[in-house]
Amino acid sequence: MSSNPLARLSRPAWVLIALTVLAVASVVLFMTLGAKGSWSFILPFRGKKLLGLLLVAYSVAVSTVLFQTVTNNRILTPSIMGFDALYVLIKTCIVFFLGVGALTSISSEWQFVFSLVAMVGFSGFLFRWLFLGEERSLHLLVLVGIIFGTLFRSFSNLMQRMMDPGAFNVLQDTLFASFATTDPSLLGISCVIVGVVSVVGFRMMHVYDVLNLGRAQAINLGVDYKRTVAIILVLVSILVSVSTALVGPVTFFGLLVVTLAHSLVGNSLHRYVLPASILLGIIALVGGQTLLERVFAFDTALSIIIEFLGGVVFIALVLRRSAR
Amino acid sequence: MIITNQVTKNYGTSCVVDGVTLELPQGGVTSIIGPNGAGKSTLLSMVSRLMAMDKGSVTIGGLDVTKAKSDELAKKLSILRQDNHMTARLTVHDLVSFGRYPHSKGRLNIEDKAHIDRAIKYLDLEPLSGRFLDELSGGQRQRAFVAMVLAQDTDYVLLDEPLNNLDMKHAMGMMKLMRQAADDLGKTVVLVLHDINFASWYSDHIVAMKLGKVAAQGSVKDIIRPDVLNPIYEMEINVHEIGGQLISVYYG
């Protein structure tokens, strides 16, 4: 028996403890820092914002980890599959065909449900490429996703150009990721959806590490590969829908936290990488928002900073790959 | 017993495996040999359900590989391919532990741990068991994957060019291990091999393939003969008997 149980902890365990402390500290600071006035107002007000940020951090981190696991690739994120582009297209279509008033007259719950259905339907549509071939079919699916993403983006661009400039302005405002203004009316439904996804995802926890070994090894070890990958991609598309609906499209945030999590934890086992990514996401969003809002008194700059850092990480990853 | 019936695979218009019908005996070591492009690896991939076949059927120990449940098959059959590129960062011990996944679904019990330790020991990996795979040489990594397959403890073990990346000592060790697995543990081992002398020395049964078809099959002394090998490899191969074993000489 060791006299000091802490001395026996492994590196991933230490990392998780440190990240938990930082994440809790960010949350506490976010709720309390610079609070003036009655707590009965501040707690629910900031609590709603906090819940939104936590949901986004969780959804983005989990969806990116799982997406990288099924694609066996450390550079890809779900946004490459055109999910974000589809979200932009949906919003653009609403403004283009129904007029700018529709963005506010259609309740945000309905817009949310609609984009959720569209995104899950889109991933279901992409699966036909997964079931078509075998060896390379997943790569084919990702490539087809990228092409559709480009198509969606081009359609959105076309409509945005033909649109009344005033309407375009309003539209563009809703398409910028903003962590400061999560839509509070969507929190309830998002919590339920994320909860259901998490239960399904958690029950498959043991499969993720096996999928990490690649398709051939996963099949050798008895994983029902196509079915498992299809389920995981549906979970990913739901999580992406939730985070985009709450704050708008974010491209590099997931890549940033997951890459950091991998290098901190030092191995690829999901029981470490998943929680580490979620905690890093919380630290980056909640901690970053606290810092910007309360310390520097900026307002909407966090998404820009996070996307900038994520972009730098992305370029570094690409350069390191090509150097090998 | 592994039975393939009219197994066929086409890539576009070219037929890579052309109606192969085989009965590989239960137990013992069977080697599949043949020149590049003969369809050896493709056949092995189809037998092990990694690749769908265009025509035909395969049964392993009575289970139809395309219809049986994948997790049931994983307890009976293991396959290791040549290319084991992996993005995951894992230690040797982690990797070998995955061999127990079909039995434990991620929750290792004492029996699983015994299998893992034995497999690591069999392949001389004890000093490396805490090392990450990306810190190992190609041969060491190859042995780690074979240890994983051994830990899976299946009746049928299929290996695609297991001697790749191995030096003479470890190549011989690997073949001895396969012999042991067949003789002592009663496993059925099927190997794709390029070195016909390894095939000759260590197998019970040899299948020779050419252009997607079975060119010849039988015991070692039926196959390791100049009149059989020369047309398959389209080169001059001399066979000598050395110490009771048939050795082919084809250099020069």
pLDDT tens per residue across all 324 residues of chain A: 444 555 567 888 888 999 999 999 989 888 888 777 777 787 888 888 888 889 999 999 999 999 989 888 888 888 777 778 888 888 888 888 887 777 777 777 788 888 888 888 887 777 777 665 566 677 777 788 888 888 998 999 999 888 888 888 888 877 776 776 667 778 888 899 999 999 999 999 889 999 988 888 899 998 888 888 888 988 988 898 888 888 877 778 888 899 889 888 888 889 999 999 999 999 988 888 888 877 777 665 677 777 777 778 778 877 776 655
Confirm or reject contact between A134 and chain B (CB < 8 A). Answer: yes
Output the CA–CA distances (angstroms, integers) from residue B34 to B11, B208, B213, in the order listed.
19, 5, 10
Chains A, B: CB pairs < 8 Å: 81
Q: Which chain B residues are closer than 8 Å to A268 by Cβ?
A: 87-90
Q: Which residues contact B244 (CB under 8 A, 6 or more apart)?
A: none
pTM (predicted TM-score): 0.86
Confirm or reject contact between B79 and chain A (CB < 8 A). Answer: yes
Residue A300, pLDDT score: 59
Residue A322, pLDDT score: 63
Residue reference for tokens 């790749």: B164
- Quote the crossing angle between the two packed helices A108-132 and A225-247, to the nearest 10°: 150
Q: Which chain A residues are closer than 8 Å to B105 by Cβ?
A: 206
> Which helix H or strand E contains A315, and what residues bound it?
helix A302-323
Tell if the CB–CB gap between A268 and B89 is shorter than 8 Å.
yes
- Coil, strand or helix: which one is B66? coil
Closest CA to B232 of B89, B90, B46, B37: B37
Query: Residue A168 and residue A116: Cα distance in Å, rounded?
Result: 23
Residue A2, pLDDT score: 44
Q: Which residues contact B93 (CB under 8 A, 6 or more apart)?
A: B116, B120, B129, B130
Q: What is the pLDDT along chain B (252 residues), one digit of tens a residue?
A: 899 888 888 888 888 888 889 988 888 999 999 898 888 888 998 998 888 888 889 999 888 888 888 888 899 999 988 777 777 889 999 999 999 998 888 788 888 899 899 899 888 888 998 899 888 888 888 889 989 998 998 999 999 988 887 888 888 988 988 898 899 888 999 999 988 889 999 999 999 998 888 888 998 888 888 888 888 888 888 888 888 888 888 887
Confirm or reject contact between A135 and chain B (CB < 8 A). Answer: yes
Q: Which chain A residues are closer than 8 Å to B98 by Cβ?
A: 209-210, 213, 217, 221
Confirm or reject contact between A224 and chain B (CB < 8 A). Answer: yes
Residue A65, pLDDT score: 94
Distance from CA of B88 to the nearest CA of A (A): 5
Cβ contact A261:A276 at 8 Å: yes
Output the CA–CA distances (angstroms, integers) from residue A291 to A6, A256, A283, A287, B242, in the order listed.
32, 19, 11, 6, 79
Residue A72, pLDDT score: 84
Closest CA to A252 of A79, A40, A121, A117: A79
Residue B158, pLDDT score: 93
Of A210, A225, A267, the CB nearest to B98: A210
Residue B78, pLDDT score: 92
Query: Residue A262 and residue A13: Cα distance in Å, rounded?
Result: 13
User: Is A301 exposed, middle or buried, given 0-12, 13-18 or 19+ CB atoms closer than 10 A?
Assistant: middle
Residue reference for tokens 């396969």: B178
Confirm or reject contact between B51 and chain A (CB < 8 A). Answer: yes
Q: State the virtual CA torsion across A123, A128, A129, A133 in degrees, nearest 10.
A: 150
CA B14 to the chain's CA centroid: 25
Distance from CA of B221 to the nearest CA of A (A): 33
Tell if the CB–CB gap between B102 and A221 is shorter than 8 Å.
yes
Q: In chain A, which among 265-324 make CB contacts under 8 A with chain B?
A: 266-269
Of A73, A135, A210, the CB nearest to B87: A73
